[in-house]
């Protein structure tokens, strides 16, 4: 965040009369890479705050020209300065003054004499809270990205339902991509190329590995999903359990398999033949399931049946498709290793290209087929130039923020 004289430092405004204690505090703050501005009276402090907006204010209650209470009232009633954290330092404050100042939103109270080191710690604590709040606000207004192993599709639906948020959940598993459209917390449509909306939604409910990107935006489209969220979540819970139970009976889903041509007299069903055809070139269990575009559970059952019949055997490792998000994750790790500050890491990933109207860049949409009875185009592949990859702790913070809205 920019300061008045140094755009790389946070600005702390100290409002108090000069003295050994205050001078030591100013020195200690400056030694922790903060830009410190020292002003003696309340009127000049008001003028400075309007022009420069410091990140934290440390002030005495008993000030010349205008009192501390008048200063607080001015700051909290001014749109520009209303969100600045304030720490009050004073000698044995009157109970009435303390109550008034706390009612006006003072963030911390420190009685004089104080240890300057303690004040410095409290300042940095407030700055950390401010950074987290700003990050959460950005996430709520723009969106966030993560890993489905940390936050699955059901978690994402619950999170958006809890806050009655509108937006699109973009999902990627292997080479497959899908979208779930949410309006005021309610699922209204879903899309995977080649699937009907309800089939697409059911298919994505069991995606336990992959990545997601949540884009917070207004949704204006026809409702294509008739089930309410409660039924969808109940169905999703059941399907996930069935998927896990079935997967336990198979080798790991990243195991490479190869098809064996069945004997002429060997009877296999048409769906089994369709699934077997996927593995004449070695590929993982999961890749074959994705290519089949069958119902996930049905496809997994077919793989199990073919393994039991000996028509699928372990094969050479298939060609590995590059993860489209691998570079983003790698860049994020590199920034951490470089020692770049947490704040700069966050802000660098929170930038997004904007069009002249200030909105995110337009995305490619699903082709509107002439024979589409709904005449309702859906986005298919969206290219988002910058994505945010959140850790498990950060994802939890997002959910907590949603629950408090």
Residue 291 has pLDDT above 50, yes or no: yes
Of 314, 334, 353, which residue sits at a domain end? 314
Give me the domain span that covers residue 290.
249-314
pLDDT for the residue 365: 38
341-367, pLDDT tens digit by residue?
433 433 343 333 333 333 333 333 333
Q: Residues of the chain with pLDDT > 70: what percent?
A: 70
Both tokens assigned to 38 = 């020292």
**Which is more confident, 322 or 6?**
6
Angle between helical axes of 95-103 and 68-77 (0-180°, round to 10)? 10
Can the peptide bond before residue 113 be classed as cis, meaning omega within 30 degrees of 0? yes
Q: Does position 90 have pLDDT exceeding 80, yes or no?
A: no
pLDDT of residue 79: 73
Indicate whether 124 belongs to any domain.
Answer: no
Q: Where residue 337 falls among pLDDT bands split at 50, 70, 90?
A: very low
Q: How far is the C-alpha of 139 from the C-alpha of 143, rounded, in Å?
A: 5
Same domain assignment for residues 216 and 338: yes
- Domain presence at residue 207: yes
Same domain? For 260 and 206 the reply is no
Q: Transcribe 276-315 into DSSP letters.
A: HHTTSS-EEHHHHHHHHTS-HHHHHHHHHHHHHTTSEEE-
Q: Are residues 69 and 204 in the same domain?
A: no
* Residues 288, 216 share a domain: no
Let me know if residue 119 belongs to a domain: no
pLDDT of residue 328: 45
Look at residue 126 and tell me if it is in a domain: no
More confident residue, 91 or 369: 91
Does 230 lie in the same domain as 352? yes
Predicted pLDDT of residue 98: 62
**pLDDT of res. 392:** 59
The Cα-based distances of 193 to 62, 199, 368 in angstroms read: 68, 11, 12
Within-domain flag for 121 = no
Asked if residues 72 and 109 have their Cβ atoms less than 8 Å apart, the reply is no
Tell me, yes or no, whether 310 and 332 share the same domain.
no
pLDDT at residue 104 is higher than 50: yes
What local confidence, expressed as pLDDT, does residue 387 receive? 44
> Once rounded to an integer, what is the mean pLDDT over residues 143-167?
88
Tens-place pLDDT, residues 255-274: 999 999 988 888 899 999 99
Work out the pLDDT band at 140, boundaries 50, 70, 90: low
Which structure tokens are listed for 278?
Answer: 């996927």
More confident call, 101 vs 254: 254
Residue range 16-24: mean pLDDT, rounded: 89
264 located within any domain: yes
Q: What is the rounded average pLDDT of the residues 29-38?
A: 92
Could you give the number of structural domains in the chain?
Answer: 3
Q: Is the pLDDT of residue 242 over 90?
A: yes
Contact 146, 172 (CB under 8 A): no
Domain with residue 44: its CATH number is: 3.40.50.2300
Residue 4 falls inside a structural domain: no
Q: What is the pLDDT of residue 115?
A: 86
- Examine the domain organization and report whether 270 and 376 are in the same domain: no
Per-residue confidence at 405, pLDDT binned at 50, 70, 90? low
- Do 385 and 345 share a structural domain? yes
What is the per-residue pLDDT across 372-397, written as a single tens digit (0 to 9) for each?
444 444 444 443 434 445 555 666 66
Higher pLDDT, 103 or 242: 242
| Confidence at residue 271, expressed as pLDDT on a 0 to 100 scale | 93
**Is 147 in the same domain as 78?**
no
Averaged pLDDT score across all residues of the chain: 77
Which has more pLDDT, 252 or 142?
252
Give the confidence band of 94 by pLDDT, cuts at 50, 70, 90: low
* Predicted pLDDT at 76: 82
Q: Is residue 2 part of a domain?
A: no
Same domain, 226 and 146: yes
Residue 154 — very low, low, confident or very high, per pLDDT cuts 50/70/90? very high
Same domain, yes or no: 204 and 86: no
Are both 287 and 310 inside the same structural domain? yes
């Amino acid at each position: 965040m920019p300061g008045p004289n140094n755009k790389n430092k946070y600005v702390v405004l100290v409002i108090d009369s000069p003295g050994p204690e205050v001078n030591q505090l100013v020195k200690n703050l400056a030694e922790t890479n903060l830009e410190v501005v020292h002003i003696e009276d309340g009127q000049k402090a008001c003028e400075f705050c309007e022009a420069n907006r410091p990140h934290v204010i440390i002030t005495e209650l008993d000030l010349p020209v205008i009192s501390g209470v008048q200063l607080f009232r001015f700051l909290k009633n001014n749109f520009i300065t209303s969100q600045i954290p304030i720490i009050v330092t004073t000698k044995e404050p009157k109970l009435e003054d303390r109550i008034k100042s706390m009612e006006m939103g003072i963030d911390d109270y420190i009685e004089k004499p104080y240890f300057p080191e303690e004040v410095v710690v409290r300042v940095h604590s407030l700055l950390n809270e401010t950074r987290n709040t700003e990050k959460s606000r950005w996430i709520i207004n723009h969106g966030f990205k993560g890993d489905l192993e940390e936050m699955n599709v059901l978690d994402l639906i619950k999170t958006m339902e809890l806050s009655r948020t509108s937006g699109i959940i973009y999902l990627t598993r292997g080479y497959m991509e899908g979208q779930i459209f949410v309006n005021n917390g309610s699922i209204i449509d879903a899309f995977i190329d080649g699937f009907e909306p309800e089939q697409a939604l059911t298919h994505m409910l069991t995606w336990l590995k992959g990545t997601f990107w949540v884009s917070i935006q207004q949704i204006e489209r026809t409702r294509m999903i008739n089930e309410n969220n409660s039924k969808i979540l109940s169905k999703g819970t059941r399907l996930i359990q069935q998927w896990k139970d079935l997967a336990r009976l198979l080798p790991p889903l990243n195991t490479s398999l190869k098809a064996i041509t069945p004997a002429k007299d060997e009877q296999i069903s048409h769906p089994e033949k369709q699934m077997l055809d996927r593995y004449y070139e070695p590929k993982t269990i999961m890749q074959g399931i994705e290519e089949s575009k069958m119902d996930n559970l049905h496809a997994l059952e077919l793989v199990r049946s073919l393994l039991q019949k000996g028509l699928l055997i372990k094969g050479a490792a298939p060609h590995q498709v590059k993860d489209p998000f691998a570079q983003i994750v790698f860049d994020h790790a590199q920034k951490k290793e470089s020692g770049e500050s947490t704040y700069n890491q966050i802000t660098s990933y929170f930038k997004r290209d904007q069009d002249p109207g200030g909105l995110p860049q337009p995305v490619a949409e699903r082709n509107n087929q002439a024979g589409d009875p709904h005449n309702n185009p859906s986005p298919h592949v969206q290219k988002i130039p910058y994505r945010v990859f959140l850790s498990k702790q950060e994802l939890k913070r997002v959910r907590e923020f949603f629950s408090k809205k």
